[in-house]
Chains A and B, each alone.
Chain A
Amino acid sequence: MRDTITIAMCGKGGVGKTTTAALMVKTLAERGDKKILAIDADPAIGLSYALGINVDKTVDDVRNNLIQKVKEKKIGDRDDTLRMLDYELFDVLVEQGKFSLLAIGRPEGEGCYCEVNTLLKDIIESLSSNFDVIIIDGEAGIEQINRRVMKIVDHLVLVSDTSSKGLNVAKVIKKVAHDNQVVDYKSTGLLLNRIRDEEEVNTIMKQQDIDLFGWIPEDELIREYDFSGKSYLDFPETSPIGKVVQDILDSFIINGGAAMSG
């Protein structure tokens, strides 16, 4: 069994979760020494797009297909069902050589068919165990913190811009996650994005009781990549942002989650 490290981006809408997740995948893929799984948990499949991947099937499609088969009683015993899900899920997995990607699509529905969701969760977990590092680009907001896919998270990265709203959402997510003990985190911390200068970081961190993982400046190149729809896999290594992302990943992977002091 591998010792899989799972890193998840959470935060308010539009703060840079997808951008940072994509940069993390790119950085790790470049290093080439780890098996990486990118999980796009946003129904809008932003991470897939940011990595230049066309998604034609999601985990949600697999789930719906199975529910349909259950309804039509076209399914055999549990073993048969597990095999079928395993086959279809592997088909959803996009293998890029340097990393693989799984698009979740719509999150699981509440209520009925929880058996289906449990089976899916089991299979995603066993699939995950084949990777060294998993990067999850979460959906905006706090609800997803309750979802099963988040249960496997080791490092919760609370992405925020400098807005009080963004910082507040980060705080709430941290509280919800810790209060409910949904996740057995090794570390939780802020990744501040779209920062003007270090002074701004210091001012913000004075008022926070969350650790700081790092900060990314407002960046012209990110704007350009976003504007022209370029894949972040081609983001230049020379960008200082690469160094920030690299340091954060090192702290997770090498030190098991030491944060900078705020």
Chain B
Amino acid sequence: MEIFNEDIVDLRNFIESKENEGRKVRLLDSEDGDRRLSTFLKKDEASIVFIEDTWLELGNPKKFSTAPVLVTDNLDLVNDGNVTLIGPDISETRGSLPFAQILLLASDSLQDEAYTKLNSFQYELELKGYMIKAMPSSLLIWSRVSNDNARNGFSFEILGKTIINNYKSKFDIPFVEIIFITSSKEDVEQLKDLHYKVKRIVGAMTKMLEEMHFDCSSCEYLDVCGDVRQLSALRKKLIKKKQGGNS
């Protein structure tokens, strides 16, 4: 898949520009990070983190949030295992923040059809004291970190590494990287172009995979399909499959 190659390059430039503007950009990789992952595994029965038990809320629907998954078959574009944070970490702030969670996945053996699954898999998290609500097809993410978690040292490093490990074990993806942005509303909102582009692509793919007729003249995704060569290729492939299945 190469639909997102340019976006990944743009994203690197974005991160660099933030660093130049003086934002705190950190690669989170502490010595005991991996060891501490297991402390937060598996939820207690109650899945809700109520507002009165919340230390930090990320991406409330009243604020902007985005959670794009960018997949590529160019292994050079992804720094495997990296967890990058722009903005404050969980222990360093409280309240409610806008939120971006960007996943970069590289593999040379992924099928395009797997993309919508890869997109929603980031929300399948079993972490204590971390409530996650999401609209995968709208790329919206909304989460809460409990007071207990903050006290016990839950961090973006732990969150990021858990997600990375999940992808590796479930999909056997060799290169997984994650970037979190909590610095400011403006910073997160600068990702709007990327957000809407990815959202359109997810929408077009979802429609193709769910729907059985491909009448392009009446399809609202005609424009993205035209722009993104790979989408029309996927469409052709699916039509072929369908015809093969029908005969």
Q: Of A81-89, A135-143, A218-226, A239-247, which binds chain B?
A: A81-89
Query: Which one of B46, B123, B209, B211 has the highest number of Cβ atoms from chain A below 10 Å of its Cβ?
Result: B46
Which residue of the partner chain, among B47, B48, B123, B137, contacts A75 with CB atoms under 8 Å? B137
A73 to B214, CA, bound (A): 12
- Most B C-beta atoms less than 10 A away, residue of A73, A87, A97: A87
Contact with A along B115-137 (1 / 0, CB 8 A): 01000100100000000011111
Q: A88 to chain B: which residues have CB within 8 Å?
A: 135
Interface flag for A95 (CB, 8 Å): yes
When the two chains form the complex, which single residue of A73, A74, A80 contacts B120, counting CB atoms closer than 8 Å?
A80
Q: On chain A, which size bracket covers the interface?
A: 20 to 34
Do residues A84 and B135 form an inter-chain contact, with CB atoms below 8 A?
yes
Is A83 in contact with B123, judged by CB distance below 8 angstroms?
yes
Chain A 62-91 per-residue mask, 1 if CB under 8 angstroms from chain B, else 0: 000000000001111101100110111011
CB–CB B46/A130 < 8 A: yes
Interchain CA distance A151-B19 in the complex, whole Å: 56
A160-B237 Cα distance, complex, nearest whole Å: 65
How many pairs, one residue from A and one from B, have CB atoms within 8 Å of each other in the complex? Answer: 61
Given contacts A74-B206, A80-B120, contact A97 B137 (CB under 8 A): no
Bound CA span A209–B225, Å: 69
- In whole angstroms, what is the CA distance A80 to B206 when docked? 10
The interface residues of chain B lying within 8 Å CB-to-CB of A95 are 50-52
User: For residue A79, which residue of chain B has the nearest CB?
Assistant: B120
Complex: chain A residue closest to B206, CB-CB: A76
Chain B: CB-nearest residue to A74 = B203
Q: Does A206 contact B (CB under 8 A)?
A: no
Contact A73–B207 (Cβ < 8 Å): yes
Contacting residue for B136 out of A74, A76, A130, CB 8 A: A76
How many Å from the CB of A51 to the closest CB on chain B?
16
A130 with B142: CB separation less than 8 A: no
- Tell me, yes or no, whether A1 is within 8 Å of chain B by CB: yes
A86 with B50: CB separation less than 8 A: no
**Which B residues are within 8 Å of any A CB, using their own CB?**
45-48, 50-52, 61, 116, 120, 123, 133-138, 140, 142, 203, 206-207, 209-211
Q: List 6 A-B contacts (CB under 8 A).
A: A75-B210, A80-B116, A80-B120, A84-B137, A87-B133, A90-B142
Query: Which 6 A-B pairs give the minimum distances between C-beta atoms?
Result: A87-B133, A95-B51, A130-B48, A76-B206, A84-B135, A91-B61
